[in-house]
C-alpha cells in the first residue's frame, strides 16, 4: 500500500480502501482513478488516499476485481433510480413551492411523469455528467435549470409542443454554456460591466457548442443557443425576429425569464410571482398573447390589472395580489366595481384571460 497525496495521483492508480466522505461511501476500493475522479477528489479537499501497490494487486482475486466498481455516486457512473428520485424530490422541495408554481404541479400524474423523465435523463451518462458539472460550478444555475425543466415541460404539454422529451432535455441544459463563464462574473454582486455582460451573453454560443460536441440533436442545441432571442429582434446572440423564432424557443424564453426573476441573485432579491409576470410581459413583449394566457392559466396566477372571466361568467379585474397566496387574487367586478371574494375551496376559478 502507498499513501499518495491527491495532487500526485495519476490516471489509472487504483484505490486500496473504500473512501468515505462525511460518512458516505463515495468510492469503492479497487476503483481505477480517471481524470474526472481525481479532479473530484481535489474538489472534495481530500488530502491523500491509499493506492494499491504492485504487490497488493497480486493478491486481488478475480472475484474481488468484479466487485470493485465505482459506486453509483462517483463522477464516472450514473446514480441509481432511488438516488435520482431523491434528487428530484429534494430539488422540488427547495424551489417547487406554490407561491412560485401556483397550481401548475398539483397533479400526481404530472409529478410522476416529470419524475420519470428526470430519471430517464439522469440515467443517461452525458446528461448526468453535464448537470453534475453545472451543479459544482454554479449551484444557482443548476437550480434554475431544474426549475425551467419542471415549468418548461409542463408548459410544453399545455402548448402541445412536438418532441416534448427533447424540449425537456433542452430545458435542463439550456444554460450549460455557463460552465464556460468565469465564476467571478457569475457570483458578482454588483452590476456587470458592459464587457462582463458581453461575456455572459456568450453562454448561449458555448452551450450550443458543448451540446453539438456531445452529439445532442440540433433541436436541443438550438434551445441553448436561442433562448435569449426576443421577437422584436433585441435578443442575442443572433438578433432573430419573430418569424425566425420557433415556438419552442418562445416557450422556453418565457419560462426562463419567469424562473430567473423568481430566484434570488447575488445582486437582487427574488421577485414575487405576479411582479415576475408583469416584468415578463414587458421583457418578452410581442410574443403572441396566447403564450402568456396559457402560461398564466397553467400557474393559476394572474398579473395585476388583468381582465379575466370567471367560471361563473363574471368579468373581473385583478386589483390586488398577495405573493404568499398569489392564486387567490383580489378581484373587482369589471362592470359593477364591487369586490369579488374567491372562495377558498376553489369552486370558482379564473376561466380565461380577456386582456392584460
Where does this chain bind Fe ion (CB under 5 A)?
175
Cell of 302: 394572474
Closest distance of CB 261 from Fe ion, Å:
13
Return the number of the residue (186 or 304) whose C-beta is nearest Fe ion: 186
Nearer to Fe ion, 147 or 175 (CB): 175
Radius of gyration of the chain (CA): 24
CA 272 to CA 322: how far, in whole Å? 9
Pick the closest to residue 96 from 27, 151, 31 (CA basis): 151
Q: CA 320, CA 272: separation in Å to the nearest integer?
A: 13
Shortest Å distance, C-beta 137 to Fe ion: 14
Question: 3-state SS of 301-339?
Answer: CCCCCCEEEECCCCEEEEEECCCCCCCCCEEEECCCCCE
Of 76, 69, 73, give the one whose Cα is nearest residue 37. 76
CB of 256 to Fe ion, least distance (A): 6
For residue 216, the minimal CB distance to Fe ion (Å) is 16
Task: Please list the residues that pair with 197 across neighbouring strands.
Answer: none
Pick the closer one to Fe ion by CB: 175 or 248: 175
Position closest to Fe ion via CB: 175
Q: Which is nearer to Fe ion, 103 or 236 (CB)?
A: 236
Name which of 98 and 175 has its Cβ closer to Fe ion: 175
**Based on CB atoms, which residue is closest to Fe ion, 253 or 353?**
253
Pairwise CA distance, residues 45 & 310, whole Å:
58
The Cα–Cα gap between 6 and 10 comes to 9
Residue 227 CB, shortest distance to Fe ion, in Å, is 6
Q: Under 8 Å CB-to-CB from 175, ≥6 apart: which residues?
A: 134, 141, 144, 145, 148, 203, 207, 224
Cβ atoms of 92 and 150 within 8 Å: the answer is: yes
Q: Which is nearer to Fe ion, 73 or 202 (CB)?
A: 202
CB neighbours of 316 closer than 8 A, spacing ≥ 6?
307, 308, 309, 310, 331, 332, 333, 334, 340
Q: How far is the CB of 187 from Fe ion (least distance, A)?
A: 16
CB of 228 to Fe ion, least distance (A): 6
Amino acid at each position: 500500500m502507498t499513501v499518495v497525496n491527491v495532487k500526485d495521483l495519476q490516471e489509472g492508480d487504483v484505490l486500496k480502501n473504500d473512501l468515505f466522505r462525511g460518512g458516505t461511501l463515495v468510492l469503492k476500493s479497487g476503483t481505477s482513478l480517471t481524470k474526472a475522479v481525481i479532479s473530484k477528489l481535489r474538489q472534495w479537499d481530500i488530502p491523500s488516499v491509499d493506492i494499491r501497490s504492485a504487490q497488493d494487486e497480486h493478491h486481488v482475486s478475480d472475484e474481488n476485481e468484479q466487485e470493485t466498481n465505482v459506486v453509483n455516486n462517483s463522477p464516472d457512473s450514473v446514480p441509481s433510480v432511488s438516488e435520482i428520485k431523491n434528487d428530484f424530490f429534494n430539488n422540488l422541495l427547495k424551489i417547487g413551492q406554490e407561491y412560485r408554481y401556483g397550481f401548475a404541479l398539483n397533479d400526481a400524474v404530472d409529478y410522476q411523469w416529470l419524475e420519470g423523465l428526470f430519471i430517464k435523463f439522469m440515467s443517461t451518462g452525458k446528461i448526468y455528467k453535464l448537470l453534475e458539472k453545472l451543479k459544482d460550478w454554479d449551484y444557482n444555475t443548476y437550480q434554475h435549470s431544474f426549475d425551467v425543466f419542471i415549468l418548461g415541460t409542463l408548459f410544453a404539454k399545455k402548448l402541445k409542443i412536438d418532441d416534448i422529451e427533447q424540449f425537456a432535455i433542452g430545458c435542463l441544459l439550456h444554460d450549460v454554456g455557463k460552465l464556460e463563464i468565469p465564476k467571478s462574473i457569475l457570483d458578482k454582486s454588483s452590476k456587470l460591466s458592459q464587457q462582463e455582460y458581453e461575456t455572459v451573453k456568450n453562454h448561449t454560443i458555448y452551450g450550443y457548442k458543448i451540446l453539438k460536441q456531445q452529439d445532442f440533436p440540433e433541436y436541443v442545441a438550438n434551445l441553448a443557443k436561442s433562448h435569449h432571442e426576443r421577437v422584436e429582434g433585441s435578443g442575442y446572440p443572433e438578433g432573430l425576429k419573430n418569424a425566425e423564432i420557433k415556438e419552442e424557443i418562445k416557450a422556453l424564453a418565457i419560462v426562463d425569464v419567469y424562473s430567473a426573476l423568481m430566484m434570488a441573485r447575488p445582486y437582487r432579491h427574488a421577485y414575487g410571482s405576479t411582479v415576475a409576470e408583469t416584468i415578463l410581459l414587458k421583457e418578452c413583449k410581442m410574443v403572441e398573447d396566447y403564450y402568456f394566457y396559457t402560461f398564466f392559466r397553467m400557474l393559476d396566477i394572474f398579473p395585476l390589472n388583468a381582465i379575466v372571466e370567471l367560471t361563473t361568467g363574471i368579468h373581473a379585474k385583478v386589483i390586488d395580489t398577495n405573493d404568499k397566496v398569489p392564486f387567490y387574487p383580489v378581484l373587482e367586478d369589471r362592470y359593477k366595481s364591487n369586490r369579488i371574494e374567491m372562495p377558498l375551496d376553489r369552486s370558482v376559478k379564473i376561466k380565461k384571460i380577456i386582456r392584460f
